[in-house]
Structure 1
Amino acid sequence: MANQVQYQYKDDNLLKSEPNKYKEGDLKSEEMIVNLGPQHPSTHGVLRMEVITDGEIIKDVVPHLGYLHRCFEKHAESLPYNQTVPFVDRLDYLAAMNSEHAWALGVEKMLGITDQIPKRVEYIRVLVAELNRMASHFVAIGTYAMDIGAFTPFLWMMRDREHIIRLLEWASGARMLYNYIWVGGVFYDLPVGFEERCKQFVDYFRPKLDELKRLIIDNKIFVERTANVGVLPLDLAINYGVTGPMLRGSGLRYDLRKVDAYSVYPEIDFEVPVGEGLMGTKGDCWDRTYVRVLEVKESLKIIEQCVEKLTGEHKRTPDFDPHALVPKKIRPKAQEVYARAESPKGELGFYFRANGKSDVPYRCKARSCCFVNLSIISELSRGSLIADFIAILGSIDIVLGEVDR
């Protein structure tokens, strides 16, 4: 049960038989075990956090998983590569386009067709992935503000996220789980007028960034709740394999869109924001949130450039076929391949082992950035207050569908 408390006494049997013999000062310690979750709203899903406290000070945190286990890898090992895309959507269901992109990159790498994908398809993929990145960050920022007491930012973020959801629904037919990015292509070309609607959204939202900054990032209460809280040193982040805004918040300019230069990202001009400790210590909760806000600004720039390419150099033509390179049967030669992409939460990777005899992966493994980032929670929380623990957990931005895949 949520917030169940267990007391650890010096001698439980004696305490029960002689309740008046022991006073408060004779207790072994003030230690308690507080279970946050799996129903606690701040756990963002079915996650149980066993928090060991001494008074209000956290001594250790043990995360317990397994309440949502979906056997993703085993599902992937029983279906052809192209039929697994709907299951990939359900990993990080707040950023399904980004997950699909990583899966398609891996299978195309095995088939050796990475360099043959039409440029219009590549720009469509990047466009929808960046729209989904923004939608994911809107949820991260809005729910984080709500975790630490502010409800209005959540409503504002959901309002603006709805514009993106409707765009992606227009393109794919689904609001959250899209099955849009296919191996070798996309499900369908963009609807007529989609590019213009994207441009209208960019023009609408860019001024909203200043409002968002004033409402949350520069808010005095928000700064006091997040600055110098949950500080993640860069060396610790690297040792734990932390990626995404968590890593960049600690000051390392590491983004797979730049490092691996996949798809058409090398042709697009954008910056990789990092934490600078402007309000507190570099790598604190404030820095991680600020990096996400800055990434939304950079995604707007990427969307603008994609729209420019899709209406200019790579505009739609009557003979364009988004299925031109979609293989009818995927049977890669025997090999092992690892492919990765920059999801909104970090490095999402897929490892494949093919035996060359089947259109079903012999082995499949998903490298979940949410799972890896969550592993740092004990290090971040030790010595913090219980109230700060909620701020620390929210700053990691996890989705349990990917953690407990």
Structure 2
Amino acid sequence: MTATTSDNTQPRRRGVGDAIRTWWDGLPRATQWLVGIPVFLLIAALPVIDPPFITTPATNFGIVMATFAMVALIAIGLNVVVGQTGLLDLGYVGFYAVGAYVVALLTSPASPIWDSADHGFFSSGWAWLACVPIAIVITGITGVILGTPTLRVRGDYLAIVTLGFGEIVRLFADNLTEVTNGPAGLQGVLFPEIFRSDENPQGVFSKSNIGTNTSYGVWWFWLALILVVIVLLVIGNLERSRVGRSWVAIREDEDAAEIMGVPTFKYKLWAFVIGAGIGGLSGAVYAGQVQYVDPKAFTVINSMLFLCAVVLGGQGNKLGVVVGAFIIVYLPARVQGVYVGDVSLGEFKYLFFGIALVVMMIFRPQGLFPARARLVTFGRQIYASVQRNPKPAASTEEASA
């Protein structure tokens, strides 16, 4: 009896993306940092270089990149809930709104919760930095309050509940005039007043810092980019821990995970709270950057755009959702100055995103950069061991029986 050749012995054809990921995974961690740091510095320098082939003609490129970094924070937080844990959250914009309003209520001169425009320490140049951890904590508590009763439902029911949460937050902000100043919003939100000079008496993060290669948009981009890196490192460590393995198990089959002893409700609540905290961080960045907060910025349409970034980039892939955030921010800004007749293509951004989602669902439902199924804890060591000690091929005599 002669053994037939198995198809598994044939080398599998790999695409460019697979080859790059395999090469990257095979690098030692120190080498990955040596490669990643120059790439990070190049991305950070883009608004300063302002390359003519990617710049936005109708919008300040630095402000566009600052918006991208802020939305990337939102996408990373939403990816924890949707991509890594498999919980469909349609009201993530509510956490974003809570974080923004915490900073605005504490620092805005128009805030109704203070008796005067002088807020003590929260009127100083360091007020925004002090408000960021407060916004993260309060938004995390909001995640606990929402998640404790609602995470016992699944699927479409959870989606409807979270959608309602996002709308409730917006309606509260619109109608609680005594607290949020209602539709008039809160103006004059403080920002980091650092690196003051004669040209920029309020610091480089002030809107008065315009007209140079390092305008206020560039500084906000750099700050948000640093926050993105910090959040990615934290989420990456969580992925390789017991928490990350539990999230993957819940995403793949919640019932099977619970039978195997995973406390599913506990880890779903963890995901909700962590995602909410990151959403609050991004809301704080938004409030400081725009220096004005009103309910119109927290509509369900924005929530859908954030979810669109996760779906386009690839659910479960941290770097993929960052690319998705870049797409939904950069493309509308890039075509805003392009006219067909008398109509700007920027007005059709929702149409373009709708078509893109339909095409993606047909041809690549896993997203542009899908999450790679691999061992999340000891994958690097196992892959390296297999490469060092490949299994010897069976000889012709051994294959025949």
TM-score by length of 2: 0.26
Higher strand residue share: 1
Higher-RCO chain (CA-CA 8 Å, sequence separation at least 6): 2
TM-score by length of 1: 0.26
